[in-house]
């Protein structure tokens, strides 16, 4: 049996074990998937544990997508470009970092035929997930990105990318408003990163959070007749791609569609 898992700080309400179990059933893979939650001070020990216990591979979530990089033996060129790792494979004790969030985020847009070319996007958050979203938008012709950070002074502006803080974000307008921060995630479900007044100035709202399936952020979008999407497609898409990397296989797109449909039925998902 193969053994995989998820590294993170708070994983009590993670859907990943159930989702991976469903994927393994679909492709007839004899494997198990476990949660590994620990504080940031234990990251080095956790990485050593992957080697010691011969865990075949792990996913990485908040807050370790960037801080895990120094503990890897190798990082592929794509993850290096993004500056974030969410998937690690263990090949005979050699830990190799990858990023499958890019494909997962693309699935959100592709399944809805939302085109970002020539559009303006505001991205909330400046962590590893934000970098991945930024890269995808840039690669697909976005006109301008505003990245909202608590510490925008840490970053450098470019021709079509500007950093700002949450106070100044209150005056922004555009086409896509994308939340990559954990604001609104269970159990703090009543929180929203921006007010309804700001939300009203955008056409499309994407929240990478998938628990709850409809955050307060997305609910306000729906109430104002905006197009909305949560992070479920991204969750499924990145998980499928991770399994492809670990198992050196290709999973048919139809399987991904079946996984999304079955997961929605199981969770009562409506978005």
Both tokens assigned to 171:
């005056």
Query: Which segments of the chain are extended strands (E)?
Result: 2-8, 31-37, 57-60, 74-75, 87-91, 94-98, 120-124, 144-148, 161-164, 176-179, 204-207, 227-229
β pairing state of 57-60 and 87-91: antiparallel
Q: Are 95 and 47 in contact (CB under 8 A)?
A: yes
* Catalytic hit among 65, 161, 190, 264: 65
Q: Is residue 156 among the annotated active site residues?
A: no
CB 142 within 8 A of CB 135: no
Q: Which residues pair with 229 in a beta bridge?
A: 206
By annotation, the residues acting in catalysis are 65
């Amino acid at each position: 049996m193969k053994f995989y898992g998820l590294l993170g700080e708070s994983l009590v309400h993670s859907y990943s074990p159930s989702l991976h179990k469903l994927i393994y059933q679909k492709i007839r893979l004899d494997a198990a998937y476990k949660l590994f939650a620990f504080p940031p001070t234990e990251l080095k020990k956790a990485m050593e544990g992957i080697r010691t216990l011969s865990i075949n591979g792990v996913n990485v979530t908040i807050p370790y997508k960037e801080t895990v990089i120094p503990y890897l033996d190798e990082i592929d060129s794509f993850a290096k470009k993004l500056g974030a790792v969410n998937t690690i494979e263990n090949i005979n004790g050699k830990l190799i970092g990858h990023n499958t969030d890019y494909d997962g985020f693309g699935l959100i847009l592709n399944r809805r035929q939302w085109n970002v070319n020539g559009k303006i996007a505001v991205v909330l958050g400046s962590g590893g997930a934000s970098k991945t979203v930024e890269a995808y938008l840039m690669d697909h012709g976005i006109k301008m990105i505003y990245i909202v950070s608590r510490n925008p002074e840490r970053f450098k502006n470019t021709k079509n990318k500007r950093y700002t803080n949450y106070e100044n974000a209150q005056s922004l307008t555009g086409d896509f408003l994308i939340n990559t921060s954990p604001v609104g995630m269970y159990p703090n479900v009543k929180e929203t990163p921006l007010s309804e007044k700001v939300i009203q100035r955008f056409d499309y709202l994407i929240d990478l959070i998938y628990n709850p399936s409809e955050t307060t952020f997305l609910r306000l979008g729906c109430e104002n007749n905006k197009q909305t999407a949560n992070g479920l497609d991204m969750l499924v898409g990145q998980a499928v791609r991770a399994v492809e990397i670990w198992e050196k296989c290709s999973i048919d797109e139809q399987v991904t569609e079946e996984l999304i449909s079955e997961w929605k039925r199981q969770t009562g998902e409506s978005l």
